[in-house]
Structure 1
Amino acid sequence: MAPSYLSIALIVLGEAFASQLPLFETSSLSQTHLTAKELISSKSLQDRIHVDNLLERANTLYSIAQLGEDEYNHPTRVIGSKGHLGTIDYIYSTIAQLGDYYTLSNQSFPAVVGNVFESRLVLGSEVPQSAIAMSLTPPTKKKQPVFGPLALVSNFGCDASDYLDLTSKIALISRGDCPFGTKSSLAGRAGAIAAVIYNNEKGALGGTLGTPSPDHIATFSISDSDAALYIKKLKDGEEVQASAYIDAIVESIETTNIIAQTKEGDPENCVMLGGHSDSVTEGPGINDDGSGSLTLLEVATQLVNYRVNNCVRFAWWAGEEEGLLGSDYYVSVLSPEENLKIRLFMDYDMLASPNFAYQVYNATNSLNPVGSEELRDLYTEFYTSKGLNFTYIPFDGRSDYDAFIKHGIPGGGIATGAEGVKTEKERQVFGGVAGDWYDPCYHQLCDDVGNVNLTAWELNTKLVAHSVATYARSFDGYPKRTGIEATAVLDVPLSKYHGPKLQV
């Protein structure tokens, strides 16, 4: 993309973001010109998708992520950072320069962001290798180390009765049955100076405390195996001294969704698609979700060459990494009438994982708003038509479709994998490396331009184009919306995930 986007991005950094958004100017794309365009077709739109354009956009996005280096010491596009402000401006500016094909708007909303600068946990004389500070944890008192005996909390720590007097102690709590934030709050109310939540399943544990509470205390997570020794000692009546240290901030900010809707097409029947504009604090997020958000940007850019029968609405969500904040807010403020205008929502998050599998959310009509399964089948038929394999993955609340299906809007999407481990069977089907994550750089600094698989990205962008073209042309045969009742029953309990981080 043109270097001017970085200049525009720099403009937004010193002043309130809303005042810096480019003015939307009407170009020569008049209604007469629009009606002279070719009616959208899947093949024609797909033919306009070229991987060189995607790669050029990825390089631009990485340069924007570098704006976060001054504050975070590495490239990042986390909400509140200069890298994310630049990302929002880049998306808005790109769409604005397409002329009057779209109605373009920004939607600001309150958000909470956290950053852990340093952390250390010592149990007995050992530093558990699996110990990590939970997302949105507050710091230890005065951001200094705290010391005290380890205390084992009864049951799952979901009720105040599970906690005895924990004054000046560090609580050791099992994962399970209720959100991590509830456990941290209850431990804080019982007087604990820090909390450690251990996995009650095999493996390491990471998660978020969710919505901040004044009762939250500095909270770590550790694996089941790291916890086992200390659980035994405490049950045997031994004392275990511990220390905890977290230097962190949790603060409230405002951030912004970007929405672009075609001016042409039936506004009562909209096909909607979205990806998230933010990354995690730890890295630039070029696959997660640069690949999805840039795919939307490229498809939106090419769509201006066509007429559409149904309106198309693109969304770039902010705050997905903090718990689906942008998409939750967007859906929460829709009136019933506006809700019903959205015929379906398509989620595009991580489309270019280096050790990819072609993944389709297993969204069925029996568990989700009717129409979700038809969307699922559109994706699988695309892969099958090209002689490609695919695999179903859980529709588990980990991305921005969650609020839509909970409010009666059919949903679905595709992905290429995150921290999950590719099996030998999948290696035989998709290639790559068995035993490695689908994205070995998931939520890490190395999620840069070199972390995207261009073959998967181009193919999936063509699939996104196919999904847009199909429904922008016609909803014939697709189920009609009949109401906004929440009908979704996710493949895993609703409370387990709300966004990419575990809550329970």
Structure 2
Amino acid sequence: MASRRTTTLAGTLAALLLGTSALLVPPAAAHGRGGPGAPGHTLDAERFARQVTTRGVWRHLEELQRVADRNGGNRAALTEGYEASAQYVERTLRRAGYTTTRDPFTFGFEVVDAASLTLDTGESYEVDQMRFSPSSPEGGVTAPGSVPADPLGCTAEAWAGVEAAGTIAVVSRGVCPFADKAVAAEAAGAVGVVVYNNVEELLNGTLGAEGVVQVPVAGAGLADGLALVEAVAAGAVLTLDVRIHTEEAESFNVIAETRAGRDDNVVMLGAHLDSVEDGAGINDNGSGSAVLLEVAVKLAQQKKLNNTVRFAWWGAEELGLIGSTAYVEELAAQEGELDRIATYLNFDMVGSPNYVIGVYDADESTYPAPVAVPPGSAETEAVFTDWFDATGQPWVDTQFSGRSDYQAFILNGVPASGLFTGADGSKTEAEVALFGGTPGIRYDPNYHTPADDLSNVSREAIGIMAPAVAYATARLATDTSAINGVSGPGDQGHHHGPWKPGKGKGKGHGAPHATLQEAS
């Protein structure tokens, strides 16, 4: 899942500029459909689900691990590891009979020039400049520290009685947005702000928009934050140096689609292919990428489908959902192209070691969505929950928040859903009762760390999720009428215009289920 920024890596752009080709797989290209009145082609979804196995997915995960091992330990955007990951996906798809397309995009790439917090006593701490924070002057801001009376520092009242003018404020994560903490500290007179995490990892945060404050704001880890609080109490002087600049960069998505299926009713599935810089990213998101790849390979053996199925391996997700957003914006600029997408399915982290079986809560039966939910999304969710209920597999809702590559789709009115096994939330006793595992620790303790490798991916979770993805793919390749009222093969090359969502049926809750918050 997405983090915010990466640092400069040597030799990154050269490989990306080689072999990039045309923009999008054209949805309107004729695939040689039957004419009017041609019978529908029913793909046995349950049988197809059995064809997508853990063993098949695992072979792809092993290769992605080898790619990382050969390329500095990661597969991050703008690196040789990402290029090699894409080449593996492309090679595998071509062997299966697909024509692959690289969809290039350019974007402003933030390069870190400085990220340090030092004390006059010699100690130093790792920090990360928050997104939309101003940079410090070269050499940083040097000042005494201050801590609010209420460590969370959310309001002016938290600073009552504290001498904060001309200091670097040190506040704890929690309760309110980072922007509120920064605004309150600046109003109290702080010349810099450090927000420390409430878990043991570096805090990568955002202020949400430009111009929120005029002072530099950075995130720190929990242990460092607590050490800073003690140092401030002892009278230490802090130097906060966080600076970035922006360069233009280019990356790409990998796109492929089935030869069979009507062109005006496309079922689209996606997973981000890039990792963070800190590790191989075999769960985040080699797992979603590998499941998607195995489903595509098996689906290529089907010569007749009612609907085209399009697959996307997104680039630069970890830098801010950049690849998927660029793709959707490109489609939106072409009249009618988004209307051809019946629904979008997203798979981001489906092999967490302390897993739950999570389905995006598109019908808002558990969580009110913080975004508008396009009509047809609840019916898309029901395809997954129908499968889990029919197989007796417990599942939980995860908030339909748009915090992965389905964001751009739903913002443009395309129905969506997806699967998720958990990231940095902690597993509850109720979830242990449903899925096993360990209560009180994170679903993926290795999330965004060097330990996110093949040894820490759950075979059991993959074994549950891979058939679910396959089932949903086959079912929607046959019929999307519950989502958009379209069923059966269409006229060859004929476009039926914008779809109108059908009523469909709500999700079934036959199997035990609980709730799960989607990770940020």
Q: Normalising by structure 1, what TM-score?
A: 0.74
Task: Flag the 1:229–1:43 CA change in 2: closer, same or farther, 3 A.
Answer: closer
Partner residue, 1:8: none
* Identical-residue share of aligned pairs (%): 28
Distance 2:180 2:18 in 1: 36
Within the alignment, does 1:408 sit opposite 2:409 as a pair?
no
Task: Flag the 1:13–1:125 CA change in 2: closer, same or farther, 3 A.
Answer: closer
Partner residue, 1:90: 88
Superposed, 1:21-420 pairs within 5 Å as 40-69=43-72, 75-99=73-97, 101-102=98-99, 104-114=101-111, 119-122=116-119, 132-134=127-129, 147-150=142-145, 170-172=168-170, 183=182, 192=191, 194-198=192-196, 206-209=203-206, 217=216, 219-221=218-220, 226=225, 241-244=237-240, 251-306=247-302, 307-335=304-332, 336-364=335-363, 368-420=373-425
Contact 1:195 1:217 in 2 (8 A): yes
What is the identity, as a one-letter code, of the residue corresponding to 2:448? Answer: H
Distance 2:155 2:79 in 1: 35
Task: Flag the 1:226–1:65 CA change in 2: closer, same or farther, 3 A.
Answer: closer
Contact 1:347 1:411 in 2 (8 A): yes
Distance 1:409 1:204 in 2: 35
Partner residue, 1:475: 480
1:438 partner SS: coil
Contact 1:102 1:260 in 2 (8 A): yes
Deviation at 1:180, TM superposition (A): 5.1
What is the identity, as a one-letter code, of the residue corresponding to 1:396? Answer: S
Which structure is richer in relative contact order (CA contacts within 8 A, separation 6 or more)?
2
Contact 1:266 1:309 in 2 (8 A): yes
Task: Flag the 1:225–1:279 CA change in 2: closer, same or farther, 3 A.
Answer: closer
Contact 1:375 1:412 in 2 (8 A): yes
Deviations 1:23-45 (A, max 9, x none): 9xxxxxx979xx9x985321332
Which residue, out of 448, 467, 485, partners 2:453? 448
Task: Flag the 1:311–1:442 CA change in 2: closer, same or farther, 3 A.
Answer: same
Deviation at 1:127, TM superposition (A): 6.7
Which residue, out of 455, 458, 466, partners 2:471? 466
Contact 1:321 1:500 in 2 (8 A): no
Task: Flag the 1:173–1:454 CA change in 2: closer, same or farther, 3 A.
Answer: closer
Task: Flag the 1:171–1:253 CA change in 2: closer, same or farther, 3 A.
Answer: farther
Gaps of 5+ in 2: 1-10, 23-30, 157-163, 486-497, 502-517
Distance 1:431 1:126 in 2: 46
Deviations 1:362-415 (A, max 9, x none): 111795111111122221121121111111111223211111111111111111
Deviations 1:416-461 (A, max 9, x none): 1111111122112111111221112111111111111112202211
Deviation at 1:360, TM superposition (A): 1.0
Deviation at 1:170, TM superposition (A): 3.1
Deviations 1:118-141 (A, max 9, x none): 74454x879799x64246689865
Distance 2:12 2:94 in 1: 19
Moved more, 296-305 or 101-110: 101-110
Contact 2:21 2:103 in 1 (8 A): no
Contact 2:426 2:439 in 1 (8 A): yes
Task: Flag the 1:376–1:219 CA change in 2: closer, same or farther, 3 A.
Answer: same
1:321 partner SS: helix
Task: Flag the 1:359–1:265 CA change in 2: closer, same or farther, 3 A.
Answer: same
Deviation at 1:208, TM superposition (A): 3.3
Deviations 1:44-76 (A, max 9, x none): 32232122222211111111112331xxxxx11
Distance 1:326 1:356 in 2: 27
Contact 2:280 2:450 in 1 (8 A): yes
Q: Normalising by structure 2, what TM-score?
A: 0.72
Gaps of 5+ in 1: 1-11, 24-29, 70-74, 159-165, 485-498
Deviation at 1:149, TM superposition (A): 2.3
